[in-house]
Amino acid sequence: MAEVKSTAELGDARGLVNLDQVELDLEGMTCASCAARIEKKLNKLPGASATVNFATEKASVTFDPAQVSTEDMLAAVTAIGYGAELVKAEPDEGNPTGSAHAHDHATELLRRLVISATLALPVLLLSMIPQLEFRNWQWLAFALASPVVFWGGLPFHKAAWASLKHLSFSMDTLISMGSLAAYGWSIYALFFTEAGDQGFRMSFSFTGATSHLHPDIYLETASVVVAVILFGRYLEAKGKRRSGSAISDLASGGSITVTVLAADGRETLRLSRELKVGDRFLVRAGEKVGTDGLVESGEANVDFSLLTGESLPRRVGQGDEIVGGAVNIDGRLVVRATRVGSETAMAQLAKIVADAQAKKADVQHLVDRISSVFVPVVILLALATAVVRLFAGDGGQAAFTAAVAVLIIACPCAMGLATPMALLVGTGRAAQLGILIRGPEVLESARKIDTVVLDKTGTVTTGRMSVVRVITAGSTTEGELTAMTAAAEAGSRHPLAAALMVHADEIEVQVPEAESAASMAGQGVSAAVAGVPVIVGRLSYCQANGLAVPSELVEALDGSERPVSMVYAGWNGQVRGVFEIADQIRTDSGAAIDALKRLGAQVILLTGDSRQAADAVGRELGVDRVIAEVTPEGKGQVVDDLLRQGRCVAMVGDGINDAAALAKATLGISVGGGTDVAKEASDLTVFGGGVAGVVDAIRIARRTLGTIRGNLFWAFAYNTAAIPLAAFGLVNPVVAGTAMAFSSVFVVGNSVRLFGFRRARIA
């Protein structure tokens, strides 16, 4: 089946509506020109808009099913000499991302490389070392070089021929023309000159100098160039395969075996991809969670690092959500499936990252345009080099050598790989760390950020209310006050009530059951506990219900400016104590804000909380500015104002009330679990939560963009410098082939370095 997304009510520049989207797996691409040709062909189909990614070997096509079918797309790709098939909706077991194809391609390249190198090496040694030559050795060199040129170079020749049939050119055209030209000249020299009769020693000069006695035999050029370029292609394939491993890891939970619990308690084994919503399954210590679900019973420490990048396990119990692919460290959990298959968090994350990798950065569109005209220009340059050198009196051999070197050394594979390889590795590494980058445009946005706006609750704070101080009056103990207060609040769903219940658990007090309870919204609760009427809530509510406040309590609270909510509790005509409850600041928020400042950003705290509470948090964290008591609409207005001032704004939030600001900001970053609305409105999602994750998100986005720019600089610099050297005969064709292969390997290696990205050390 094709992975066809839900029909969307969309319109593009051509007025298309009811568009579908499909992904194609492509085969036979050897360079960026191949990708450009397939993309151009698909875009010529009526009602289709395609993007082809050379690094991922996939095409993403948005199309109008009323005008074009998937069969038309497959036929169009096949017609220009490439293979294509629809991406399967459900990955094969053990091959969740199609990585087997990448493995097979690399294996085939390695086989051709080993055989070609084994045959080409003696040819090279015979050409370089006169002492190894014997009578008629040139015929042995001819016998060894021929299979290298035709069998080893077959992928290049096939791609070049497919291009030629459609009157187009690719980078393989340069390789094929260069190797066949060198081989053809050698045939001429062997059969029609005295080099073949006398066993003339081939010239191998790094300066391109040739013998003045006889025409050169270029069998070493024809064979070694093929072997060297195969080596470069093999390293590229290995690099691309490794780069896709992060997404493979994310999706790999789809083939594990799960113990399913039947209604009568019987246990049966089933593959996790066969689970249905509502199924109950068992997760023992050391096992992976089969799919997203809700914990029905049991408690355990669970490793969520695959999804969130968190280094420490998280404790889960009854009522907690859990994701497929997480690992149960200890304990025993019974989970009810809530999302299965492509709806799971892991599957969605893998899909979003893959979509981001398939998109093109703005700079890549420029590279595509350059590549489309580069090859025919190089062929013309090679011909011009030969003609100019002939008229300059250099002779046919020197002219031919220089022309072949130009063809080979100019092959711009490195330019084609520069952007997609870095994007592939960077987004994959980010996903491993629990950072979701939604597209290449995010990288440019992250580079320009000079202002970071932080929501308070759930971003710089934990988002969970907890008791930070308990003050008692008279002979009342903390345990007694907590027990009576928790009993009265037991039926409430208010966050402050939840904090009181948690506090009761923490200090291990027995909470009695309230006999009756009544609440007044926003004020407090009254209840009968063990026959005693208990009043809990605001000070005004307690006083209105006849409770007096002891002077010692007034003195303890006098002048307090702590950013806390106060819950008073009392009975028998007197307030017995007060609970200070607050959303505590994350332990790493202060250091993370300092790190943001070192990245060159002004940090603003934006919250709907009271001015007093916001200022207190702002002072503790050392932010540059605090904006408090802001409505959700007001948050968006604040971002608008900053943008009008010429600032490049990153908005960081986790709730529905942050969605408007996230969408308007230059860079929207949702943190923690977040809401679906916040995640959809954001450009970056940090699953680990907190400001520390934001620091890492901006750092890796900037690092990836820097890698892309570095790749492009060296790729363009290489071609700019290399072509004149070849044209002036300063580079031998064999050296040209080695240099061309090295430029591609450099780009791949430079991109793979992103796997070494580490989290910032935040104290």
Query: In angstroms, rounded to a whole number, what is the distance separating the alpha carbons of residues 8 and 21?
Result: 9
| Banded model confidence at residue 212, pLDDT cuts 50, 70, 90 | very low
List phi, psi (to 5°) of 625.
-155, 145
| Predicted pLDDT of residue 34 | 76
Query: In angstroms, rounded to a whole number, what is the distance separating the alpha carbons of residues 480 and 512?
Result: 11
Instruction: Tell me the mean pLDDT in the region 291-296.
Output: 89
Q: Is it the case that residue 539 has pLDDT exceeding 90? A: no
List phi, psi (to 5°) of 180.
-70, -35
* More reliable by pLDDT, 18 or 380: 380
Give me the residue label for tokens 């207190």: 616
Chain center to CA of 171: 28
Instruction: Tell me the mean pLDDT in the region 184-203.
Output: 60
List phi, psi (to 5°) of 524.
170, -170
Which ranges in 393-532 belong to alpha helices (H)? 396-409, 413-432, 441-448, 478-489, 495-506
| Predicted pLDDT of residue 97 | 43
Q: What percent of the chain has pLDDT over 90?
A: 6
The answer to whether 583 and 614 are in contact (CB under 8 A) is no
Helix, strand, coil % in the chain, rounded to nearest 5: 50, 20, 30
* More reliable by pLDDT, 745 or 589: 589
Contact partners, residue 748, CB within 8 Å, separation at least 6: 235, 236, 239, 240, 417, 421
Q: Is it the case that residue 171 has pLDDT exceeding 90? A: no
| Predicted pLDDT of residue 364 | 53
| Predicted pLDDT of residue 336 | 92
Q: What is the largest CA-CA distance in the chain?
A: 122
Instruction: Tell me the mean pLDDT in the region 84-93.
Output: 61
Q: Is the pTM of this model over 0.85?
A: no
| Predicted pLDDT of residue 255 | 61
| Predicted pLDDT of residue 216 | 59
Per the DSSP assignment, residues forming a β-bridge with 574 are 548, 571
Instruction: Tell me the mean pLDDT in the region 217-243.
Output: 71
Q: Is it the case that residue 101 has pLDDT exceeding 50? A: yes
Give the domains, in start order, of the chain with CATH numbers: 20-89 (3.30.70.100), 100-243+359-424+708-754 (no CATH), 252-344 (2.70.150.10), 435-461+586-695 (3.40.50.1000), 468-585 (3.40.1110.10)
Q: Is it the case that residue 115 has pLDDT exceeding 90? A: yes
| Predicted pLDDT of residue 232 | 67
Helix axis angle for 589-598 and 690-727, nearest 10°, is 30
| Predicted pLDDT of residue 152 | 92
Of the candidates 670, 681, 746, 678, which has an alpha carbon nearest to the alpha carbon of residue 711?
A: 746
Catalytic residue from among 292, 303, 455, 683: 455
The answer to whether 30 and 82 are in contact (CB under 8 A) is no
Torsion region of 758: left, alpha or beta (phi above 0 gives left; psi -120 to 50 gives alpha): beta
| Predicted pLDDT of residue 53 | 74
Give me the residue label for tokens 């040209």: 736
Task: Tell me which DSSP letter residue 587 carries.
Answer: T
Instruction: Tell me the mean pLDDT in the region 530-537.
Output: 88
3-state secondary structure of 259: strand
| Predicted pLDDT of residue 155 | 86
| Predicted pLDDT of residue 148 | 93
List phi, psi (to 5°) of 550.
-60, 145
Q: Are strands 451-455 and 602-606 parallel, antiparallel or unpaired?
A: parallel
Of the candidates 224, 193, 212, which has an alpha carbon nearest to the alpha carbon of residue 126?
A: 224
* More reliable by pLDDT, 688 or 252: 688
Torsion of CA 162, 166, 169, 170, to 10 degrees: -40
Least confident of 116-120, 237-241, 581-585, 715-719: 237-241
Per the DSSP assignment, residues forming a β-bridge with 566 are 580
Of the candidates 689, 685, 655, which has an alpha carbon nearest to the alpha carbon of residue 667?
A: 685
Instruction: Tell me the mean pLDDT in the region 640-658.
Output: 82
| Predicted pLDDT of residue 739 | 72
Query: In angstroms, rounded to a whole number, what is the distance separating the alpha carbons of residues 440 and 433?
Result: 18
Burial classification of residue 2, based on how many CB atoms lie within 10 Å of its CB (0-12 exposed, 13-18 middle, 19 or more buried): middle
| Banded model confidence at residue 240, pLDDT cuts 50, 70, 90 | low
Query: In angstroms, rounded to a whole number, what is the distance separating the alpha carbons of residues 511 and 504?
Result: 8
pLDDT tens-place string over residues 300-318: 888 775 555 444 567 788 8
| Predicted pLDDT of residue 755 | 85
Of the candidates 293, 301, 280, 288, which has an alpha carbon nearest to the alpha carbon of residue 250?
A: 288
Query: In angstroms, rounded to a whole number, what is the distance separating the alpha carbons of residues 68 and 49?
Result: 11
Query: In angstroms, rounded to a whole number, what is the distance separating the alpha carbons of residues 757 and 356?
Result: 19
| Predicted pLDDT of residue 737 | 61
Instruction: Tell me the mean pLDDT in the region 674-686.
Output: 60
| Predicted pLDDT of residue 144 | 93
455 is a catalytic site residue? yes
| Banded model confidence at residue 446, pLDDT cuts 50, 70, 90 | confident
Other Cβ atoms within 10 Å of 474 Cβ, number: 11
Of the candidates 516, 484, 512, which has an alpha carbon nearest to the alpha carbon of residue 500?
A: 484
Mean predicted lDDT score pLDDT of the chain:
76
